Amino acid sequence: MPSLITHHIFGEDAAQRLPEGLINGEEELLAFLLANEGPDPFFVCFSTIPARVAACRHLARDMHDGHVTKAFKDIRSSVGRLPVEDEGIGRAFALGLLGHYMLDRTAHPLIYSQQYALLEQPELSDASHEIHAIIESDIDSWILWEKRHATVLEHHPASDLMRTARIDRVGGTVFSQVAFAVFDLNVGPEEYGAAVSDYQWVYRRIEPAGSAKTRLIGTVERLARPHSMAESFAHRVTKSDECVSANLERRKWTNPFTGERSHASFADLFEEALGAYPQIAEAFVRADWERFDAAVGGLNYDGRPM
């Protein structure tokens, strides 16, 4: 991640910076925007047999961890093997996946720097995943208000996962191929659409943060584990321009993976990723892998040197 809403808004803005003709029509735009969620839906899949759930979640972790250039080479090859009538959807989907990577790798060091600082508190030492989710959902709620002047009451997060059956089929084919060819995982083409449906199902039941149903889900969840992931994922309703997680005051922080010091806010990093996206997208479309690999710079989706 960053989380669902932020990736969707990034995709909306990134689409405006692509050359005319790369994304044509509403369905291709839907494919591009959905793919800006990257492999994240696989983290949440649950409505299949345990072995398939494990493979899907393994794929999401492995894609975030490394083999970035190799994966995108395979993604491009997969799109080239699609039926002619699906090539436009496949190209838009692949470009969306690239948008997910660019925002992730640019913004994650700030998120992890905050997460690791909070984990130093003894009472939070066992809440790594929950802290990460809270930071990202906080940024989600802020950026939705900042850029679209809306809250999750008017713009439900599940609506950012709209797609067609063809998008599910094409996206599933692309992910299935990269899973097998790059990560040696057996993830069927049908698993992607199912994972997105699971992602929607979860968000339809946990929003907004602080609601009676979300508190009830959290109470039940804490019968089995110390902290609630549902309450961590849920978005607060806010009409504030302030957000501590976004570091809008530009306080100094340290990249936990490189030791580099920075004052960048999340807004700065969002714009940095947006500015860099057209160049790496062009290298991808042209199959200029030397230029593409230079743009990747050896960084995985966390912004961590591979």
Taking only Cα atoms into account, the Rg of the chain, rounded to an integer number of angstroms, comes to 19
Checking if the pLDDT of 2 tops 70, the result is no
For 62-84, b/e burial (b = at least 16 CB within 10 A) is bbbebbbbebbbbbbebbeebee
Of the candidates 193, 168, 105, 142, the one whose C-alpha atom is nearest the C-alpha of residue 9 is 142
Please name the residue that has the structure tokens 């997910």: 100
Checking if the pLDDT of 105 tops 90, the result is yes
pLDDT in tens, 47-92: 999 999 999 999 999 999 999 999 999 999 999 999 999 999 999 9
Q: Distance between CA atoms of 80 and 74, rounded to whole angstroms?
A: 10
pLDDT in tens, 202-226: 999 999 998 988 998 989 888 888 8
Q: Distance between CA atoms of 204 and 156, rounded to whole angstroms?
A: 8
Share of the chain above pLDDT 90, in %: 88
State residue 123's pLDDT score: 85
State residue 1's pLDDT score: 46
Q: How far apart are the first and last CA of the chain?
A: 18
Q: Tell me the whole-structure pTM to 2 decimals.
A: 0.95
State residue 112's pLDDT score: 96
Q: Distance between CA atoms of 174 and 38, rounded to whole angstroms?
A: 12
Checking if the pLDDT of 189 tops 90, the result is yes
Q: Are 136 and 115 in contact (CB under 8 A)?
A: no
- Average pLDDT score over residue span 24-40: 97
**Residue 121 DSSP symbol:** S
pLDDT in tens, 239-277: 999 999 999 999 999 999 999 999 999 999 999 999 999
3-state helix, strand, coil in the chain (%, to 5): 65, 0, 30
Share of the chain above pLDDT 70, in %: 99
CA atoms within 13 A on the CB side of 248: 11
Average pLDDT score over the chain: 95
Q: Are 165 and 30 in contact (CB under 8 A)?
A: no
CA atoms within 13 A on the CB side of 13: 20
Of the candidates 217, 262, 181, 245, the one whose C-alpha atom is nearest the C-alpha of residue 1 is 245
Q: Distance between CA atoms of 93 and 79, rounded to whole angstroms?
A: 9
Checking if the pLDDT of 163 tops 70, the result is yes
Q: Distance between CA atoms of 2 and 99, rounded to whole angstroms?
A: 12
Checking if the pLDDT of 108 tops 60, the result is yes
Q: Are 256 and 235 in contact (CB under 8 A)?
A: no
pLDDT in tens, 116-146: 999 998 888 888 999 999 999 999 999 999 9
DSSP bridge partners of 305:
299
